[in-house]
């Protein structure tokens, strides 16, 4: 059995988690203070996920770039590819906070949404 120690990143509390793993099976998880911590520990062993926050180019609006994020965390290994996908698109106003900028990015089932509004100049 292998013990893996993690710091939960779900919230700023940063709980210290201990996951006991037998081969690929999770045997026990301890140290979490909420359900989301438990879920994080599971994901982190099976498939680590992260929320991507970045920007996309904007044209004709009051800002040169608009901030965006994935609505849910996506597999960590896809972060760089997703940034590349997003670097190739250009958005135009009007955009409201929460508008979908890219649907189902890299077939993850997760949408990329705007986190800032963009109005015409």
Would you tell me which residues interact with another protein (CB under 8 A)? 6-12, 14, 50-57, 63-65, 67, 69, 76, 79-81, 83-84, 87-88, 97-98, 115-117
| CA contacts within 13 A on the Cβ side of 119 | 1
Smallest distance from the beta carbon of 86 to another protein, in angstroms? 8
State the Cα–Cα distance between residues 68 and 119, nearest whole angstrom.
15
Is the CB of 4 or the CB of 69 nearer to another protein?
Answer: 69
Minimum CB distance to another protein smaller for 10 or for 102: 10
Closest separation between CB of residue 26 and another protein, Å? 19
Q: Give every CB contact of residue 16 below 8 A, 6+ residues apart in sequence.
A: 5, 6, 7, 8, 31
**DSSP helix/strand/coil, 37:** helix
- Which is nearer to another protein, 24 or 88 (by Cβ)? 88
CB-side neighbour CA atoms (13 Å) of 89: 17
Q: What is the smallest separation between the CB atom of 28 and another protein, expressed in angstroms?
A: 20
Identify which of residues 20 and 99 has a Cβ nearer to another protein in the complex.
Answer: 99
Tracing tokens 């509004």 back to the chain, one arrives at 117
């Amino acid at each position: 059995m292998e013990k893996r120690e993690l710091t939960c990143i779900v919230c700023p509390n940063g709980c210290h988690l201990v996951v006991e793993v037998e081969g690929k099976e999770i045997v026990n998880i301890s140290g979490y203070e909420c359900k989301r911590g438990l879920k994080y520990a599971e994901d982190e062993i099976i498939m680590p996920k992260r929320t991507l926050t970045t920007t996309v180019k904007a044209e004709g609006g009051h800002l040169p770039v608009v901030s965006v994020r994935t609505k849910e965390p996506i597999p960590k290994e896809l972060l760089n590819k997703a940034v590349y996908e997003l670097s190739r698109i250009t958005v135009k106003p009007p955009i409201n906070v929460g508008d979908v900028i890219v649907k189902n990015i890299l077939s993850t089932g997760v949408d990329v949404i705007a986190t800032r509004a963009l109005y015409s100049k």
